[in-house]
């Protein structure tokens, strides 16, 4: 795939609805390379777990990926991905991904994709828009590794553009824009990566977050980490900047599990496709 004519134009559309106290995937449409596995219910019929796959194994220059996810009223869904998302070195074109999520009244989406690995020279743009209905909630994260550091690679070429918006009606609840150009200046700038190849954001919106929850989330920040927790008007935000995707994922997982138990009255349930390490 050396040019735009050979690139992927993948699409995925998922619609969930409640039927007899069970959240079911009522409609699924996909266009390669995006695909969703058959839904499963490790926590019972109320919460539907779905795993999204990228069958091509990675994203190349010129790829266009589009996902639409709709949770109808009173549904509960957990979505993750089967593997890390790889953004390969670009020939000059951007790889683009657009995600549109609609969460209707009284529904809850836990959207927890595995990390994105952007190769040096990768050019990637991601746009995410989430619409919340009355009494609905969203918990999600994004973790990115810039450069294949295990090979000594740094993100010195390329560009990342990320734009995430969460709305409830006409009210913006969280808007986050990130622009990370490849290069020595951005990589070492204290207002950018500060020499760290891993960045991550965890957001919870639509749930009542107490000061106790904020402090408990902060207590998971290890000494020496460049991380923080911020209260949002209707939720909370955790940020990580460091050297380890495992550290970011473990911390975010602990925060997520605490919110699950304290606010959603759910038990611990780690998706079976994850590999959680403690390094």
Does residue 4 carry a pLDDT above 90? Answer: no
For the chain, what percent of residues have pLDDT higher than 70?
A: 97
38-49 average pLDDT score: 96
275 within some domain? no
158-176 average pLDDT score: 96
**Strand residues in the chain grouped as ranges (E):** 9-19, 22-31, 34-36, 47-54, 64-71, 76-81, 85-87, 95-103, 108-112, 116-118, 123-132, 137-146, 159-168, 171-181, 198-205, 226-232, 235-242
Alpha-carbon distance of 167 to 147, in angstroms, equals: 32
224-253 average pLDDT score: 95
190 within some domain? yes
pLDDT value for 5: 58
1 within some domain? no
278 within some domain? no
pLDDT value for 228: 96
Does residue 178 carry a pLDDT above 70? Answer: yes
54-74 average pLDDT score: 95
Matching residue, tokens 């009606």 = 169
pLDDT value for 125: 98
59 within some domain? yes
pLDDT value for 182: 93
277 within some domain? no
4 within some domain? no
Is the CB of residue 163 less than 8 Å from the CB of residue 129? no
pLDDT value for 2: 46
pLDDT digits over 65-108, tens only? 999 999 999 999 999 999 999 999 999 999 999 999 999 999 99
- Range(s) of the domain holding residue 68: 9-263
Does residue 252 carry a pLDDT above 70? Answer: yes
Task: State the virtual CA torsion across 214, 176, 132, 66 in degrees, nearest 10.
Answer: -130
First-last CA distance in the chain: 36
Does residue 277 carry a pLDDT above 70? Answer: no
276 within some domain? no
Strands 235-242 and 226-232: antiparallel
pLDDT value for 276: 61
Alpha-carbon distance of 268 to 265, in angstroms, equals: 10
| Domains of the chain: total | 1
Model pTM score: 0.94
pLDDT digits over 141-159, tens only? 999 999 998 888 999 999 9
Taking alpha carbons only, the member of 163, 83, 85 closest to residue 119 is: 85
């Amino acid at each position: 795939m050396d040019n735009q004519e050979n690139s992927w134009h993948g699409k995925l559309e998922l619609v969930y609805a409640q039927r007899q106290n069970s959240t079911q995937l009522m409609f699924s449409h996909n266009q390669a390379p995006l695909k969703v596995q058959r839904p499963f219910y490790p926590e019972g019929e109320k919460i539907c777990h779905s795993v999204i796959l990228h069958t091509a194994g990675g994203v190349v220059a010129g790829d266009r990926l589009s996902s639409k996810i709709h949770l109808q009223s009173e549904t509960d869904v957990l979505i993750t991905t089967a593997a890390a998302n790889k953004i390969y070195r670009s020939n000059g074109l951007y790889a683009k991904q657009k995600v549109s999520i609609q969460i209707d009244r009284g529904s809850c989406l836990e959207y927890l994709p595995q990390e994105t690995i952007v190769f040096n020279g990768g050019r990637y743009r991601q746009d995410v828009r989430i619409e919340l209905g009355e009494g609905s909630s969203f918990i999600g994260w994004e973790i990115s590794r810039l450069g294949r550091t295990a090979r000594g690679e740094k993100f010195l070429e390329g560009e990342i553009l990320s734009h995430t918006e969460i709305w409830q009606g006409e009210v913006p609840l969280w808007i986050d824009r990130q622009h990370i150009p490849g290069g020595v200046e951005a990589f070492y700038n204290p207002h950018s990566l500060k020499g760290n190849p891993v960045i991550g954001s965890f957001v919870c919106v639509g749930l009542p977050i107490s000061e106790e929850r904020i402090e408990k989330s902060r207590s998971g920040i290890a000494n020496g980490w460049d991380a923080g927790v911020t209260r949002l008007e209707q939720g909370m935000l955790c940020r990580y900047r460091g050297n380890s995707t495992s550290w970011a994922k473990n911390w975010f997982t602990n925060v997520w599990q605490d919110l699950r138990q304290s606010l959603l009255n759910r038990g611990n349930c780690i998706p079976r496709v994850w590999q959680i390490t403690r390094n």
